[in-house]
Amino acid sequence: MALRHVLLAAGAFFMLYPLLWMVASSFKPESAIFTDLSIIPHHLNPENYINGWNALQVSFSRFYWNSFLIAILVVIGNVMTCSLTAYAFARLKFRGRNILFALMMMTLMLPYHVTLIPQYVLFLNIGWVDTILPLVVPKFMAVDAFFIFLMVQFFRGLPRELDEAAKIDGCGPWRIYWMIILPLSKPVLATAAIFSFLWTWNDFFGPLIYLNDIANYTVPLALRAFVDSTGTSAWGQLFAMSTLALAPIFFFFLFFQRLIIKGVAMSGLKG
Amino acid sequence: MTPWILGFLGFTLGPTLASLYLSFTKFDLLSSPTWVGLDNYRFMFTSDPRFLNALRVTFVYLILEVPLKLAFALAVATMMDKHIRGGDFYRALYYVPSLLGGSVAIAVLWRQLFQGDGVVNKLLFAIFGVQGPSWISTPETSLYTLVILAVWQFGSPMIIFLAGLRQIPQELYEAASIDGATKWKQFARVTLPLLAPVIFFNFVLQMIEAFKAFSPAFIISGGTGGPVDSTLFYTLYLYQEAFANFRMGYASALAWVLLIIIALFTSLSFLASKYWVFYEDER
Closest chain A residue to the Cα of B201, Cα to Cα: A268
> What is the pTM assigned to this prediction?
0.91
d(CA A258, CA A194): 11
| pLDDT of res. B237 | 95
Contact A109 B5 (CB under 8 A): no
**Rounded to 5 degrees, what angle do the CA atoms B167, B86, B66 make?**
55
User: What does the alpha-carbon distance between residue B78 and residue B173 come to, in Å, rounded to a whole number?
Assistant: 13
Whether the per-residue pLDDT at A71 is higher than 80: the answer is yes
Q: What is the pLDDT of residue B166?
A: 87
Rounded Cα gap, residues B9 and A143, in angstroms: 10
Instruction: Please check the confidence at residue A51 and state whether its pLDDT lies above 80.
Output: yes
Q: How far apart are CA A126 and CA B9, in angstroms?
A: 17
pLDDT at B239 over 50: yes
pLDDT of residue A232: 62
The minimal CB distance from B104 to the residues A81, A94, A223 is found for A223
The H or E element containing residue A5 is helix A2-25
Average pLDDT over residues A102-110: 83
Whether residue B4 and residue A141 make contact (CB cut-off 8 A), yes or no, is yes
pLDDT for A268: 61
- CA atoms within 13 Å, Cβ hemisphere of B194: 16
Sequence length of chain A is: 271
Residues of B in contact with A238 (CB under 8 A): 108
Distance from CA of A212 to the nearest CA of B (A): 12
For chain A, what is the mean pLDDT? 89
Residue A200: per-residue pLDDT: 94
pLDDT band, residue A271 (cuts 50/70/90): very low
What is the predicted pLDDT for the residue at A270? 55
What pLDDT was estimated at residue B34?
A: 86
Residue that wins the pLDDT comparison between A243 and B182: A243
Cβ <8 Å between A94 and B1: yes
Do A16 and B115 count as a contact with CB atoms less than 8 A apart? Answer: no
Q: How far apart (Å, rounded) are the C-alpha atoms in residues B107 and B219?
A: 6
Contact B12/A19, CB-based, under 8 Å?
no
Summarised one tens digit per residue, pLDDT across range A197-227 is 999 999 999 999 999 999 999 999 999 999 8
Give B195-214 pLDDT, tens digit per residue.
999 999 999 999 999 999 99
Range in A34-43, B133-142, B274-283 with the lowest mean pLDDT: B274-283
| Cβ distance of A204 and B209 shorter than 8 Å | no
CB-CB contact of A84 with A142 (8 Å): yes
Position A4 scores a pLDDT of 84
Burial (Cβ within 10 Å: 0-12, 13-18, ≥19) of residue A18: buried
Instruction: Examine the pLDDT at B283 and tell me if it is beyond 70.
Output: no
- Partners of residue A241 in chain B, C-beta under 8 Å: 105
Percent of chain B residues topping a pLDDT of 90: 50
> CA end-to-end span of chain B, whole Å?
40
Average pLDDT over residues A131-154: 89
Band of the pLDDT at A57, cuts 50, 70, 90? confident
Beta-strand (E) ranges in B20-139?
25-26, 34-35
Chain A environment of B91 (Cβ under 8 Å): 261
pLDDT for residue A95 is more than 60 = yes
Q: How many CB atoms lie within 10 A of CB B35?
A: 10
Choosing among A63, A100, A113, A212, which should be mutated to test the B contact, i.e. which has the most B CBs within 10 A? A113
Chains A and B form CB pairs within 8 A to the count of 233
pLDDT at B137 over 90: no
In this complex, which of A117, A119, A253 lies closest to B99 when CB atoms are compared?
A253
Lowest mean pLDDT: which of A219-228, B54-63, B80-89, B121-130? Answer: B80-89
Mutate to test the interface with B, among A116, A208, A223 (most CBs of B within 10 A): A116
Contact B103 A224 (CB under 8 A): no
pLDDT in tens, B7-63: 777 777 888 888 888 889 888 888 888 898 888 999 999 989 999 999 999 999 999
* A54 to chain B, closest Cα gap in Å: 17
User: What's the mean pLDDT when you consider all of chain B?
Assistant: 89
Among the partner-chain residues B16, B80, B252, the one whose CB lies closest to the CB of A110 is B16
Q: What is the mean pLDDT of residues B101-111?
A: 91
Measured between CA atoms, how close is B191 to chain A, in angstroms?
Answer: 18
> What percent of chain A shows pLDDT beyond 70?
97
Assign A68 a pLDDT band (cuts: 50, 70, 90): very high
Q: Is the pLDDT of residue A36 over 90?
A: no
Cα angle value A99/A101/A102 (rounded, 5°) = 65
Q: Is the pLDDT of residue A235 over 80?
A: yes
Instruction: Please give, rounded to a whole number of angstroms, the shortest distance from the CA of B4 to a CA of chain A.
Output: 5
What is the H or E stretch that residue A181 is in? none
On chain B, the residues whose CB falls within 8 A of the CB of A93 are none
Q: Read off the pLDDT of residues B157-185 as tens digits, 9 standing for 90 and up.
A: 999 999 999 888 888 888 888 888 888 88
Q: Select the more confidently predicted residue: A186 or B10.
A: A186
Contact present, B215 and B83 (Cβ < 8 Å): no
Cα dihedral across residues B203, B208, B209, B214: positive or negative: positive
Asked whether the beta carbons of residue A246 and residue B262 sit closer than 8 angstroms, the reply is no
| Bigger pLDDT: A30 vs A188 | A188
Compare all CA atoms of chain B with the CA of A265 and give the residue at the minimum distance.
B160
DSSP secondary structure letters along A9-61: HHHHHHHHHHHHHHHHHTTS-HHHHTT---SS-SS--THHHHHHHTSSSS-HH
- ipTM of model: 0.89
Q: B interface mutation test: which of A38, A117, A137, A241 has the most B CBs within 10 A?
A: A117
